[in-house]
A and B are shown apart, each in its own frame.
Chain A
């Protein structure tokens, strides 16, 4: 059989043709057609007139060994189609080529593997790269692709082995290889090894991905300053990369350097005005500077692209809250809550807004939901206690305050609120204890941040101190207390009672911690987003909604045929096991219920 002979000869020819040196050289530029076209031209000259199908005939001519080298004849064409993403054509061509060469064409297999990977069939693509590796064991590129396939399949250990094998074969270092090794080590939680590899990769070649992975690594080991310096270095090389700027800005925000954070976020927005993460972060910073209109303008841009993002709606709501448009704020928060029912921050904000609206029961419900989801946050307990105070549930309010003080050890406002509460309920000792605790915390707070508390909090603290007869000198910052002297006891008590009310500012400052939330969220995205999915899920709940009844009625009313007809139709419906309520109606006291419902709703 000539065919068999042919096949045999090809096998012999192949290694000779793909001699290691040239292959290695080629593998460096696998995708570069320049290296291939010359060959194909040479081959083309021998076969110019012969269309691919008749290649066999041409080969059957005796003593024409050189023509059999056409294994790579059409590599350039395959390559061309591949880079144009014309996968169908490409696959067709590859199939022909592989049939012709009986699966011996390395490049065809290689591209086939790449295409399969893009289609998500990694296992199959892995097998093809293995085949390539058998065909040409000296090519580093093949091993690298195998390793990559292993990585994508989640077998990081094997991937590391493959990469190391590839490294052995390489005479000069390759940044990509080390970068990938670093990523694999990262997944294997070998942080030191990973850092080493990534640093090495950076020495070879600066690449923004490497920088990003390295920074992520530092964050994983809680080394924020190194992460920041990594990003800074990265930005020197890639000053226009929005993602790097955003990441750096968010890190600065976390560390409290708002000025720098804002600069970097601003840079991101100049290069990419639609970067939603940067918009959210920048917006939340503007919010904390009371610049609500600008923030809203930013959010409007973001809302175009991520209309279903809970943090976005949360931030928008808090903008409205700052502008004292409470109803708008509530409806935005409700939407955010609808999208992310597991997010305690949104529930917390809902509670806060309702407290401000003096709807204490609603506030209580939202806050208790928030507590259920996040039982370790002191601030929620404080708001819960405030709402309980207004609901006249002294016992539980007291417990909530205790819990709040226990859980939150830094914020002075909790102690103040608790002190006021205790004072109003004639527990002077407890109140004095709390005001002292408040002092301690306030001093600490001043030391820690160098800034002072909100003046209203301090004023309220001074009032309470004077009422309790404690030395309130700490509270005198600049303004000093003036108003208090003239007022007599009872009025003061009234005042302090409303203090909890005026503590809004306190709560507000608390509420501004939510806006940071959004900023945090972009970062948390990997972990948080599933929640978003959940939320999305939750939407369907209404499924059952209006369901079945109407259809039957609808048809009746639209056609207005006599009674008999209607009952006939209902019968049909019953057959189809739809809900019919004719009987229900008769049995239940209809009118009675109607009244009842009226009462309820009106």
Chain B
């Protein structure tokens, strides 16, 4: 038996996704012949594949991106054309009274996506106090967590120094060699996380190709995007799309528009993509997400259902449809969707929590507590507060106020920043007649959860009751700023205004 060709062996390792072995084999080969381009290229690709991340999904914006955002086109966008303004009064679907909103003022979604909970804080102060801060040490730093992680991949293999020394790389030379350049680019972009060098390479390579290769344009666009040059990125992506229709390019272009806060533009891009690739799930998902963000829940659900038509095991779609049904008074239907998730093998605290809630509201009382018990046993530090909070609602539902009180207390023990629990505790205290305690709870809730209108309204109501009209007047206005359609707040404001405006 002759020995197998080591290069073939390395290639085979690569195909079987045994990257470590592939890299070792390549390193050995390179030690013998450092100028073997095939081996060198293979090693580059193996290293890249180890850390490769699909970027067009789940991108997280860092603190600096969020706060020092000057890319938004319209600072005062018309209602329904921005992902950042309050919902239009004509918004479709259940209002904020029925369906709670997230920190960012968007309706609560079925899944947690990066950024969907953190929201878009108005001030630095708020940004630093996002709800997760008590739970995790994850700072919302300038570079988002994922990208930092990418960079560290290169640091791990420092035993023999970096594989490629970027500073000494003759980029102009490699840019012309198409067989190497693409692998090299991905290595720089993903493994080294050095966007500047990657951009340099991509720019020279696309020039060398006389602007005829769409792949380089997409990469150029990605680099621009990472650097925050959204308009340049847009140009590159559009030009790439002219040469070659590609799903990924559509997705990337859509993301550019989202970052520019032009959701309608993004929708157009995605729909154009759908014309070319009908039934493409990723495009449909992106569209549904945008509609959800625009408070057009009916359309969002329509697209989620479309997704299920093409991919019956799409977790996000099932979860979102379930949530929608739950908040539109159809807990029985929601129950079916969550059951489906459970059958698909998702087994965690959240799913049991949701099942428990659905069971309770669908009057399957025997199952409710079992589900919650399971949810509690599976709960992590992060989610246990929410489970206790929901249990508090169950307790309210069966009229056991003391149990509810204890549940909310436990929620606060688990997560000291749980604004909803503070608010509900305030309400319970209010019912008991402890107005001062109630006010303190409302104030805490309002400061911890600036996205909720309820503590503001409750506080205003309380202040009005005890005759503190000035406080009431100021605070009810805050409630209305968060939820302009709230009838009770409006009425309160009206009665107060008669006091304030009479001469």
Contact = CB atoms under 8 A, between A and B. Distances in A.
Report whether chain A binds chain B. Answer: yes
B58 A370 contact: no
A221 B146 CA distance: 68
Contacts of B385: 544
A575 B145 contact: yes
B57 A559 contact: yes
Contacts of A549: 111, 315, 346, 348, 350-351
A307 B91 CA distance: 14
A373 B343 contact: no
Dominant SS at the A interface?
helix
B420 A537 contact: yes
B444 interface: no
B347 A564 contact: no
B470 A153 contact: yes
Interface in A298-345: 305-309, 331, 334-335, 337-339, 341-342
Interface string A290-304: 000000000000000
A545 B354 contact: yes
Contacts of B74: none
A541 B392 contact: yes
Which among B95, B348, B365, B382 has the highest number of chain A CB atoms within 10 Å? B348
B488 A537 contact: no
B488 A342 contact: no
Contacts of A597: 339, 342-343
B329 A547 contact: no
Given A152-B470, A554-B315, A575-B145, A542 B357 contact: yes
A495 interface: no
A84 interface: no
Nearest to A334: B329
Nearest to A342: B431
Contacts of B282: 558-559
Contacts of B100: 539-543
Nearest to A335: B329
Contact of B145 (A539, A545, A572): A572
Contacts of B51: 568
Contact of B458 (A121, A341, A533, A559): A533
A338 B95 CA distance: 13
A424 interface: no
A559 B281 CA distance: 10
Nearest to B360: A365
Interface string A162-190: 00000000000000000000000001000
B322 to A, nearest CB: 7
Interface string B342-386: 110111111101100100010101010010000000101011011
B427 A154 contact: no
Given A539-B100, A547-B383, A593-B347, A533 B136 contact: no
Given A365-B365, A577-B136, A530 B420 contact: no
Interface string A464-484: 000000000000000000000
A429 B327 CA distance: 52
B130 interface: no
Interface string B254-278: 0000000000000000000000000
Contacts of B212: none
B424 A534 contact: yes
B89 interface: no
A346 to B, nearest CB: 12
Given A114-B503, A557-B311, A584-B378, A369 B465 contact: no
A337 B363 CA distance: 13
Contact of B454 (A526, A540, A542, A548): A540
Given A120-B477, A529-B488, A545-B353, A576 B400 contact: no
Given A533-B427, A543-B108, A546-B322, A551 B113 contact: yes
B111 A555 contact: no
Given A584-B347, A601-B339, A118 B501 contact: yes
B461 A529 contact: yes
Interface residues of B, number: 111
Given A154-B468, A530-B462, A120 B149 contact: no
B31 interface: no
Given A526-B465, A542-B108, A555-B57, A547 B345 contact: no
B313 interface: yes
A551 B466 CA distance: 46
A548 B350 contact: yes
Interface in A422-472: none
B114 interface: yes
A553 B315 contact: yes
A338 B396 CA distance: 10
B348 A581 contact: yes
A307 B393 contact: no
B97 A536 contact: yes
A598 to B, nearest CB: 8
B347 A546 contact: no
Contacts of B154: none
B469 A122 contact: yes
B236 interface: no
Contacts of A342: 396, 431
A585 interface: yes
B145 A550 contact: no
A76 to B, nearest CB: 17
B53 A534 contact: no
Interface in B122-153: 132, 135-136, 138, 145-146, 149
Given A339-B97, A530-B430, A559 B386 contact: no
Contact of B350 (A121, A156, A545): A545
A386 B289 CA distance: 49
A295 B63 CA distance: 54
A564 to B, nearest CB: 6
Interface residues of A, number: 93
A581 B380 CA distance: 10
Contact of B452 (A117, A148, A153, A540): A540
Q: Which of A121, A533, A538, A576 has the most CB of B within 10 A?
A: A533
Of A114, A369, A543, A577, most buried by chain B (CB within 10 Å of CB) is A543
Interface in A140-166: 148, 152-154, 156
Contacts of A148: 502
Contacts of A600: 367, 370
A122 B58 CA distance: 48
Contact of A365 (B281, B348, B363, B423): B363
A547 B469 contact: no
A24 B323 CA distance: 66
B98 A539 contact: yes
Q: Which one of B316, B320, B378, B474 has the greatest number of beta carbons of chain A within 10 Å?
A: B316
Given A373-B399, A581-B348, A548 B383 contact: yes
Interface in A543-600: 543-551, 553-555, 557-559, 561-565, 568-569, 572, 575-579, 581, 584-585, 588, 590, 593-594, 597-598, 600
Nearest to B475: A120
Contacts of B393: 341, 538, 541
Given A559-B282, A585-B345, 16 more contacts: A120-B477, A152-B499, A335-B329, A373-B401, A530-B427, A543-B420, A544-B385, A544-B386, A549-B348, A549-B350, A565-B52, A569-B53, A572-B53, A572-B146, A581-B347, A600-B370
Interface of A: 30-31, 114, 117-118, 120-123, 148, 152-154, 156, 187, 305-309, 331, 334-335, 337-339, 341-342, 347, 359, 361-362, 365, 368-373, 526-527, 529-534, 536-551, 553-555, 557-559, 561-565, 568-569, 572, 575-579, 581, 584-585, 588, 590, 593-594, 597-598, 600-601
Interface of B: 17, 19, 50-54, 57-58, 95, 97-100, 108-114, 132, 135-136, 138, 145-146, 149, 281-282, 285, 311, 313-316, 319-320, 322-323, 326-327, 329, 335, 339, 342-343, 345-351, 353-354, 357, 361, 363, 365, 367, 370, 378, 380, 382-383, 385-387, 389-390, 392-393, 396-401, 420, 423-424, 427, 430-431, 452-455, 457-458, 461-462, 465-470, 473-474, 477, 486-488, 492, 499-503
